[in-house]
Structure 1
């Protein structure tokens, strides 16, 4: 269960000392159940209304230390004001606090009754920056109290709409202990933590690289630098973005598969060491090969992106293979020098102007990196993820 897990605990006066103590006991039991450790889950705590970090992610490296620190937490008071969600989004999951990058960020909000402020916008911003928001609501409002709600259906608005997976209603404070195991099971289910993904950590990206004779050794190095520059922008790990690469001439060669390199340094090193092949140009066959060798092994919750880089007209048909992959893959075409404009359009997903690029010289490839990243992110953010 490798997650970076933060709890927002309710420190408002309305819950009283006894229930605050029950909350601390619940957090101590969670720490015990997930087995905190540097190779697994790291756990931190923020107390709100006025958010204050009680425990950083990196402060304690085992459950016993976390439990001992929870014991010492003192109730701060205030309202049940969940503006702390803005705080975690801006400040908490930072490298300085011990955020590890390759581990999913999870925030569990404990609320007594209901929040005294609106949570929808703060939660949405947190989710869009990749934080998985869970709400544990204890003793929600009864029928008489519902008129006091600041935001009706606040839980539904705060979490990803996935059949109650991200919300856990608890009937009473004394039943809170029963929520430990169900909650731990959910926060550790990294395959389900897909709703709160960002454009930089949600993809399987395949580079299909022209290694034909017309490219030449020096230009091939420039292409590899371009591939590395795009890759560098993404968060790389087995649970984040994964990258694979195929080089082709008349034939095709799998350089590395998705998940073969699960950290950025190893991946960039593998790209750098791809050997130039030299030969003809069969781009259509290469697209089919990449679909079979890479995307057939793609994870179902990943966005599938293919980036084809070529400097000439293909000896075979690209249209049929491109149409076939468009059903499951977002395809980008990058043409250089003698690449054929009509083929670049066939390869690219519609609209072409967002997915197809052309440069006269290899040395100008680098200019497209920000545009490609921008387009990938814009497309991702326009898709409904609730």
Structure 2
């Protein structure tokens, strides 16, 4: 919440009480005083802490905060841990070249995070006729080794057994022996360019993952994607992506990163709208929620 005022409120005690309720409910509150009639004591009671309070000489100087705000928007996202497993289709219909692009997408995604046992952990499962958990969540303790191992994943070819891949990821990938942590968000990203061999079994497996609290994304690549199956795989309607080709995967990287980190996109988009209008608000951080 960003509160902007140029003067005293009518009821200082009521304002402080309302702000405390917001703080107690986990809302980050920022106070910006514009003009010369600002009551600093009230501003401090509105804001969550002193670093969230700004006193400016006039409304025009709000623009001066633009660079700092842009730097801070997703800062927390890089500091909070998450367990993310990519489930990659390497069936015959994908083909070697497109599978390589899937690997490049995962590598590009991984580069956005601090990788390690205290930060973000990334695993990779591939599936076709058989399913392979090539990279466990706890296989790599740093980003360099993770990127190296992703680049070495082999292409298998074969059928599209999506249900088997989701089940293996649920019961083995997100298990403590394989590195899953109880205190962080679990995210599964299923990438496929075609229909699974058993859509009903795929939907059942996905539902089990949803019930286990795993945030599941479905990324359909190519022109053979069945939208009903993609919707069944994803844990939320906003977690479904249908792209015309693998090159478009790169366009999803930023959006998927924000959603898996729980950075509220609507709040960030509202801020971006303000910037486009020539108005900057305050510095803030977007926290990542845990399960």
State TM-score, norm by structure 1.
0.48
Which of 258, 261, 270 is residue 374 of structure 1 equivalent to?
Answer: 258
Task: Kindly indicate whether the alpha-carbon contact (under 8 Å) linking 2:76 and 2:287 is maintained by their aligned counterparts in 1.
Answer: no
Cα distance between partner residues in 2 of 1:223 and 1:151 = 49
Q: Cα gap change, 1:384/1:246 in structure 2, threshold over 3 Å: closer, same or farther? A: closer
Shift of 1:232: 1.1
Cα distance between partner residues in 1 of 2:289 and 2:247 = 37
Which of 210, 213, 217 is residue 92 of structure 2 equivalent to?
Answer: 213
Report the counterpart of residue 53 of structure 2 in structure 1.
none
SS at match of 2:134: strand
User: What is the total number of aligned residue pairs between the two structures?
Assistant: 202
Report the counterpart of residue 198 of structure 1 in structure 2.
76
Report the counterpart of residue 322 of structure 1 in structure 2.
206
Which of 235, 238, 241 is residue 114 of structure 2 equivalent to?
Answer: 235
Report the counterpart of residue 126 of structure 2 in structure 1.
247
Q: Cα gap change, 1:366/1:329 in structure 2, threshold over 3 Å: closer, same or farther? A: same
SS at match of 2:261: helix
Shift of 1:383: 6.9
Task: Kindly indicate whether the alpha-carbon contact (under 8 Å) linking 2:261 and 2:289 is maintained by their aligned counterparts in 1.
Answer: no
Cα distance between partner residues in 2 of 1:285 and 1:249 = 9
Cα distance between partner residues in 2 of 1:270 and 1:245 = 10
Report the counterpart of residue 335 of structure 1 in structure 2.
220
Shift of 1:231: 1.2
Shift of 1:378: 4.0
Greater Rg over alpha carbons, structure: 1
Which of 185, 203, 207 is residue 303 of structure 1 equivalent to?
Answer: 185
Which of 355, 358, 365 is residue 239 of structure 2 equivalent to?
Answer: 355
- Please state which structure has a larger fraction of its residues in helix: 2
Q: Deviations over 1:38-93 (max 9, x none)?
A: xxxxxxxxxxxxxxxxxxxxxxxxxxxxxxxxxxxxxxxxxxxxxxxxxxxxxxxx
The CA RMSD measured in Å over matched residues stands at 3.0
Cα distance between partner residues in 1 of 2:101 and 2:229 = 22
Unaligned runs of at least 5 residues, structure 1: 1-119, 126-147, 159-196
Relative contact order (alpha carbons < 8 A, sep ≥ 6): 1 or 2 greater?
2
SS at match of 1:199: helix
Q: Cα gap change, 1:271/1:250 in structure 2, threshold over 3 Å: closer, same or farther? A: same
Within 5 A, what are the aligned runs for 1:268-287?
268-287=147-166
Shift of 1:245: 0.8
Report the counterpart of residue 113 of structure 1 in structure 2.
none
Matched, 1:290 2:169: yes
Cα distance between partner residues in 2 of 1:216 and 1:383 = 36
Cα distance between partner residues in 1 of 2:214 and 2:152 = 27
Cα distance between partner residues in 1 of 2:184 and 2:113 = 14
